[in-house]
Chains A and B, each alone.
Chain A
Amino acid sequence: MEHIVIIGNGIAGVTAARHIRKLSNKPISIISSETDYFFSRTALMYVYMGHMKFEHTQPYENWFWEKNNLALVNGFVKTIDTNTKTLYFKDGQSLSYDKLIIATGSKPNKYGWPGQDLKGVMGMYHKQDLEQLETYAPNNLVCKRAVIVGGGLIGIELAEMLNSRNIPVTFLVRESSFWNGVLPNAESEMINRHIKNHHIDLRLSSNLKEIISDKNGQVKSIIIEETGEEIPCNVVGLTAGVSPNINFIKSSNIETNKGVLVNKYLETNIPDVYAIGDCAEQRKAIGLRRPVEAVWYTGRMMGETLAQTICGHKTPYNPGHWFNSAKFFDIEYQTYGWVFAKPKENHAHFHWKHKDDTKCITIEYHTISNEFIGINNFGIRMRHEVFNTWLNEKRTMDYVINHLSDANFDPEFYKHYEQDILKAYSNQLQIQTIS
């Protein structure tokens, strides 16, 4: 039987493996040099914060892999020979495959800043990054201040992590407001205030110029591009996005661009070689999605899809409506459908914010057809299934706003805000009619 080899034991690779196993008895090997067992990358922050131990981030008990006949290989693949279908490892060993799935995920971006490889400079992506952080920032005596560079989802998580150990944090954000390339202004500004409420030194419109070393090759301070200000610190977190982790593939015949190029069947240019998850780049973007999607959910969906193809039922990767979620300190965020930072042409935003400044929603809708396009909800939980149905049915904005309570997913006895929201919406309509 054909040997399926998966490079990478993250959510994409492991989902593919599980689903191939459900559908077949093919021998499967999963290779990783990061950890022996699959863990939830998104949960690493909770280990540093002391909410969980590392074991708790592992969704399956250790016996699971052997029981399901999934061979785990601890190794670092150095080169791929697609002619002989062989992988060569850093330690000189090799492994042959019949079908290869590349699921190597991402690595933190480094933009060539002076000092970016000093001791105490790290991303927050791999398990090894967590270990680094534990070494250089165990407490606020060893790490008197940390600087985070890059205002995205990982940046704010790193700020929360360090904050949990009372380590002062300076947070450099290139944009004029946190994550405002994705979030509409009102939301982004609410998060700015929330960040500051947690005593984070948030610096908007600020870029890193360079990282200064002490005499031991360790971080001493950083300098801000715009002001030239020097900020003394012991740790620098580089969280300016991630990019596909595919350096080892560049020497092979597999075609790459930013990521490993794949068609809609997740096939690369080489037969029997596939790529899924963060490291895959669609040759042709699907709908409004980006060609490289570094999101937990899309990794999982690609794994689910590719398993079908590998097991003889060729299936294109055709994800449904966009959805995502995050948590900004104490504020949960979910999104269903599309809400753009600035409404697209013929689109408008309806925004409602609670006076406590921790809850708000923004709905994007079509101004002519009144069609509901998407929702961002902060501090209020909403049902995925309901919004998925409404998007399928192409419901109008009026319908959605009048039925919001059907979508509420907050715990029992929570205060509901649907009436407030409806009132705000009606007021807005009136104002529009008058003007």
Chain B
Amino acid sequence: MNSQTNQSMSLANPEGTNLSIKQKTAITFGVLGLFIFLLAIFNTNLPNKALFLISSLGLITLGTILYSNNAYLTKPKGIKNDGVFFKSISSRGTLGWITGIILTSFYIVLYFIPQYLGLASNGLPNTGLIALFDPLSKLLSGNPASQWFVYGTLYTLAILVFGYKFMLKYRHNRYEQLRTASVMFFQLGFAFLIPEFMSRLNQSPNYNLPYYDLKSMWPLNYYLFDSWSINGLLSSGSLGLLMLVFGVISIFVVSPILTYKYGKRWYCSWVCGCGALAETAGDSFRQLSSKKLSAWKLERWLIHTVLVFSVIMTTAMIYTYLGKDSSKFWLTQSTFLTSVGVFLTLVFALVMLFKRKELGKDARYGAYGYFIVIAALFIMHYTGTTDEIFLIKASSLRSAYGLYIGSIFSGVIGTGFYPILGNRVWCRFGCPMAAILGFQQRLFSKFRITTNGGQCISCGNCSTYCEMGIDVRAYAQKGENIVRSSCVGCGVCSAVCPRGVLKLENGTLEGRINSNDILLGNDINLIDLIKR
């Protein structure tokens, strides 16, 4: 390709993408709000913290609202992707890289050196940014803020204000609007407010509830079965027990039913907090996901490896928590381990028996491989070859998982790299929850994206704007339904299609995966001939 032309295209700064005066004003408000954070980080002694906190959060909110109003309400309803690949922030330009580096650094500080943000130790009062958030934290839970409270507040704020922006951008599309309202609701209520109120309960000696976002299921919520979490829940009366039971039911009953009926989207793009951030604050980066076949291969290996890791880790954690004495625990170590083994074998056997044909060659090899490894570990354990259930101590597995997957993968890379790798890196390559839901979506679900006969013009908008890196066009131009485990059902491919080709649907299982060599519209006899 003529590289010179492409270069001039990307370097061109068409007037059309320049900011209006109102947008510049809005950005000024937002930056002033962020500047207050900066002052706090540098430990400026801000006189009235509550006032400064309100002004900074208020300025950021106001700035985003004004900016969005000016960007979208001044234009007719419709797709608003003009200049996406000319803007520095959304095309891996300088602004994109700067944002990526700031986000990544923020996550590193947040996870590993929170004292830089002003987290107090030894009962001293907080300083810096964390102290700025003390008034809000005391108002909600009665406790001083922690780094997680600061993070949670900013995270929720981002989802709310960018959710507003997204709803304006798609104000012609009710699917997008309802979906966004849903993630905003779940983030504000379930992930932010309810846990804060729960910790208020803990002021009574009868309660010792762990931080628990009810909508965050295992294995995304990998610490649900940690001993501190289980102990906390079990020592908090019937409410705690109820929450633990709810957690288990969510995984084994609620999720399979909803995923069967609607696909994994009921969770990933309507409920989940990671999805919520990706769909709102991350929306400007969805076009940066790689659509290469090689990326898809990497994705399949990586995400299922994380799933296997999380299953092993959780099994080991629960195993260690349980005792050997059946009089103390109704569930003993060996019953637990046996039931896990039976469950995994059952899933493996049923899939290989009934759905074998629907799996790719590498998926089958992967399944065999992992099954053999887990089986071997179980056998070694039962034959007494090793004391530890999975060769390594459960607590080491747990801390390795927390560090590499929980912090580095989902936080530092997953969100920090939004402006470089796209907004769903974690959901696509790492999330074990997405792997389970995706597995079910691919094999046992009514959900699919239907393509509209022969109407596709192969333009590529659908693939470009797929945040999960699915080459949607490859299916659409063959008139084939899109049935992919990674699809989170955000609906953007359908929205950006200029020819009305794609529709998210829940239908019958029969004919869900279809393949046509010749598209609808051609000679009927020829289509029949090819089908035979």
Contacts and interface: CB of A to CB of B under 8 A. Distances in A.
Interface of A: 11, 19, 22, 35-37, 40, 42-43, 46-47, 49-59, 61, 131, 134-135, 138-141, 164-167, 197-198, 296-297, 300-301, 304-305, 308, 315-321, 323, 325-327, 329-330, 332, 334, 381-385, 388, 392, 409-415
A160 to B, nearest CB: 10
Nearest to A412: B175
Interface in B71-86: 76-79, 81-86
Contact of B12 (A138, A327, A414): A138
Contacts of B505: 412
Contacts, number: 200
Q: Which of B12, B16, B460 has the most CB of A within 10 A?
A: B460
Given A134-B5, A381-B452, A166 B16 contact: yes
Q: A-B pairs with the 8 shortest C-beta distances? A: A384-B453, A330-B78, A381-B500, A165-B16, A43-B459, A139-B15, A50-B83, A413-B174
Given A323-B453, A330-B76, 19 more contacts: A22-B517, A42-B457, A49-B81, A50-B83, A50-B86, A51-B85, A53-B6, A53-B85, A55-B1, A56-B460, A57-B460, A166-B15, A296-B457, A297-B521, A320-B524, A323-B454, A325-B457, A384-B455, A411-B495
A59 B16 contact: no
Interface string B498-532: 11100111000000000001111111111000000
A54 B86 CA distance: 13
Nearest to A157: B498
Interface in B229-252: none
B56 interface: no
Contacts of B494: 411
10 contacts: A51-B79, A140-B16, A167-B16, A304-B526, A317-B523, A320-B520, A332-B498, A384-B455, A411-B174, A412-B175
Contact of B491 (A131, A326, A411): A411
Interface residues of B, number: 65
Nearest to B84: A50
B122 interface: no
B453 A383 contact: yes
A139 B523 contact: no
B205 to A, nearest CB: 48
A416 to B, nearest CB: 11
Interface of B: 1-2, 5-6, 8-10, 12-17, 76-79, 81-87, 172-175, 178, 292-293, 452-455, 457-461, 463-464, 473-474, 477, 491, 494-496, 498-500, 503-505, 517-526
Given A327-B498, A327-B499, A385-B520, A134 B526 contact: no
B87 to A, nearest CB: 8
B454 A315 contact: no
A384 B498 contact: no
Given A51-B81, A61-B292, A43 B455 contact: no
Given A49-B81, A305-B526, A413-B174, A43 B15 contact: no
A40 B526 contact: no
Contact of A304 (B5, B12, B84, B522): B522
Contact of B460 (A52, A61, A412): A52
Contacts of B79: 51, 330
B499 A165 contact: no
B15 A131 contact: no
A164 B522 contact: no
Contacts of B499: 325-327, 332, 334
A140 B15 contact: yes
B464 A297 contact: no
A315 B78 contact: no
Given A131-B2, A134-B8, A383-B453, A334 B500 contact: yes
A209 B491 CA distance: 47
Contacts of A327: 498-499
A43 B491 CA distance: 20
Contact of A297 (B16, B172, B454): B454
Nearest to B178: A413
A325 B526 contact: no
Contact of A139 (B16, B474, B498, B526): B16
B478 to A, nearest CB: 10
A308 B526 contact: yes
Nearest to A63: B293
